[in-house]
Amino acid sequence: MKTLNKGFAPIAVILIIVAVLAVGGGLYYSYSKNNHRPVEEGMAPIYNPDNENYQPVNTAPKPNTQVTNTTTQNGANSCLVITSPTINHTVSFPLAITGYINTAGAVAGTCTKWGAFEGTAGDVVVKDTNGNAKSVAVKIKTIGDYSVGMQHWPITLTIPSLTSSPTTSQIALHFTGDAQADGEIAATKVLTPFTVTPWPQPNPTQQQSSTMNIKVYFYNAVSDPGLPDCRINYSVNRTIPQTSAVARASLEKLFAGPTAAESTAGYGSFIQQGVVINSLTIINGVAHLDISKEPSTGGSCGVTGSSMQIKNTLLQFPTIQSYELTVNGQVLPNDI
């Protein structure tokens, strides 16, 4: 019996070890099946739509460690590396920004980890040298999915424009990472200086202008002696007050006829004096014009010429493709 007891003890120990290994291996297989890929510390958890029991992995700092804000220039100690643009260069907007997250450095602990989650890695905003925001915050987009062993995780974004003029010609790019876990302080990164191209200031003349330029059309007896073709007319410029009813204002200038200087230069009109606009509406590209009396001064050339003057004056505007003319609501039988 003593010999049997001595042989049984080692066998019992071996059986216990085998059982422990079997249970541990089953748990590991279950975890791997449900999550497919492990999440390394400091990286965003990878969403698995096939796992109904998926829970984000807690990437909060370990006890006795602290994540602090990191202000760097040109990626000196941040895992976020910006490859374009580079500091001390001139930039313009829209501004395209490219770079990568140094995932190998994050795993090795050689750089300050940068949070990324579900396709984004925080955001960036432009600030002037006084710290005033000069753009909206734009999301940093990661390219592709993270995988174990990845060295660099590419990022990209575009800042469309500045929201206001910088107080100086130099600006800074302020990056903020994604805070993935409760209580985690998101890492930050500042790249500066960049010189912004001159901010487009409004033209003082345009800014204060209360007028606009349009064209009206007349025949010219000097250019066309004898007026062999009554359909030919020439544009002259007019300056009118700013108005949304620009087509009506242009016709009013046309009906007023050429100036004295223009008449001396050979310009004339087939439209008789005293024509008044009753109404003008533009529907689906068609200008419906109703006037107080027939526009023509008479004769077939007058009818054709006056109609072409009205037509060319109206069709200078891209919202008008054709027109219909009536006199006190009645269609003109000779109108072309």
For 146-182, the pLDDT digits (tens) are 888 888 999 999 998 888 777 777 899 999 988 765 5
Q: How far apart are CA 319 and CA 256, in angstroms?
A: 24
Most trustworthy range by pLDDT among 40-49, 65-74, 110-119: 110-119
Task: Report, in this order, helix, strand and coil percent for the chain, each rounded to 5.
Answer: 25, 30, 50
Give the count of beta carbons closer than 10 Å to the beta carbon of residue 191. 23
Instruction: Please state the pTM of the whole predicted model.
Output: 0.41
Task: Report CA 175 to chain centroid distance, whole Å.
Answer: 20
CB atoms within 10 A of CB 206: 7
Residues 6+ apart with CB under 8 A from 56: 45, 180
pLDDT band at 333 (very low <50, low <70, confident <90, very high): low
- Max distance between CA atoms of the chain, in angstroms, equals 143
φ, ψ for residue 188 (rounded to 5)? -125, 160
Look up the CATH number of domain 80-196: 2.60.40
Every domain of the chain with CATH number 2.60.40 lies at 80-196
Length of the chain: 336
Q: How does DSSP assign 148-182, residue by residue? A: TT-SEEEEEEEE---SS--SSSEEEEEEE----ST
Q: What is the pLDDT of residue 119?
A: 86
pLDDT band at 19 (very low <50, low <70, confident <90, very high): low
